[in-house]
Amino acid sequence: MTLAPAVRPLLICATEVVHAERLSPSFVRVHLAAPELADLGVGPRSFDQRVKLVFPDHVDGPLPVVPDGEDWYAAWLALPQPERGHMRTYTVRDVVGSGADTRLVVDLVVHGVEGPAGGGHGEAGPGSRWAAAARPGSRVVLVGPRRGMPYGGIEFDPPAGAELLLAGDETAVPAVLATLAQLEPTARGAAFLEVPLAGDVPSAVHPEGVRVTWLPREGAAHGAPLHAAVLEHLGAGSAPVVPDVPEGEVDPELWETPTHSSSGEELEPVVHTVGDDLADVYAWIAGESRLVTGLRRALVRDLGLDRRRVAFMGYWREGRPMGA
């Protein structure tokens, strides 16, 4: 008797850039191709589906090694840095084509474009460097969902009929744009997106009932325009110009969703303090961890938004490389 080869739970494969485009000063779009993408398990409603990209040290450097199998992550971590490269998290912006011609579309932020005076955050990391130099033929390793296998990685999960509040900085733009384009036409609510520069504002496909507001930072403190706009939207009066969150209180790995709390907080409902206006709100907020911590405080602690109707996710932390 011959045994069928075991189906791997994840899709781990080398991909090649077949199209690279500088969408704006701060965003690069790449279309990634590989025959293995025929088995990519991303549904038509991918919302904020996340994947991992493993970058070489330099865009033309040797492709990182990522072992496959059950203990792939531990095995990958055990490799010397030059061999394993750098793993970072990105969002599925789109999937185009089919079968072996499937292309995964990812929008990557090139950071540091604003410069030190405009809120740049130090040296660009390997993801940003790779994005800035990517061209057809550049390669990167994908760790993503395989069709028919459990993977998770989607946090956007509003209750039916919710009043949506989507908010984020530039790193959340791909997730919010993908989500907006996939909502039911009857969806209602608002989206607020802070981007580095006015030239970074893209066009967005969204239901008529969801208002989309772009907030180019143009040198303002990171998160200040978004914080103020979200609080004003919720009728919370005048907001502080910069979220007042002391360094020690910023959780760099902040991840608070209806089913997971990075701080171990109980998922008890809280009593609304600002009337029933917020009872229908479902908030999805992602971006720099201090910014998200500040909004979480304002929404959950001060305004009393139900903890079970929010997803707050730190996508990156100023001054700290993310991932391994």
Residue 135 vs 301, nearer CB to ligand FAD: 135
Nearer to ligand FAD, 33 or 292 (CB): 292
- Residues 163 to 192 in contact with ligand FAD, rule: CB under 6 A: 170-171, 174
Q: Which 147-166 positions form the footprint of ligand FAD (CB under 6 A)?
A: none
The residue within the footprint of ligand FAD, chosen from 57, 157, 218, 318 (CB under 6 A), is 318
- CA–CA distances in Å: residue 322 to residues 13, 137, 253: 21, 26, 9
Q: How far is the CB of 43 from ligand FAD (least distance, A)?
A: 17
**Token digits of residue 161:** 């009929």
Nearer Cβ to ligand FAD (182/272)? 182
- Residues 80-119: x where in contact with ligand FAD by CB under 6 A, - otherwise, as a string: --------xxxx---------------xxx-x--------
Closest CA to 17 of 60, 76, 69, 65: 60
**Quick check: 31 binds ligand FAD (CB under 6 A)?**
no
Work out whether strand 86-91 and strand 163-168 pair parallel, antiparallel, or are unpaired.
unpaired
Residue placing its CB nearer to ligand FAD in the complex, 9 or 321: 321
Does 307 contact ligand FAD by CB under 6 A?
A: no
Q: Is 322 in the site for ligand FAD (CB under 6 A)?
A: yes
Burial of 144 (0-12, 13-18, 19+ CB in 10 A): buried
Q: Cα dist. 191→44, 218, 255 in Å?
A: 21, 19, 20
Size of the site for ligand FAD (CB under 6 A): 28
Rounded CA separation 132/257 (Å):
32
Q: Which residue has the tokens 């709100």?
A: 281
Alpha carbon distances (Å) from 271 to 116, 301, 308: 42, 10, 12
119 versus 278: smaller Cβ distance to ligand FAD = 119
**Nearest residue (beta carbon) to ligand FAD:** 125
Q: List beta partners, residue 165.
A: 190, 283
Cβ distance 178 to 91 under 8 Å? yes
Out of 47, 76, 156, 316, the only residue in the binding site for ligand FAD (CB under 6 A) is: 316
Interacting residue ranges for ligand FAD, rule: CB under 6 A: 50, 88-91, 107-109, 111, 121-128, 170-171, 174, 315-322
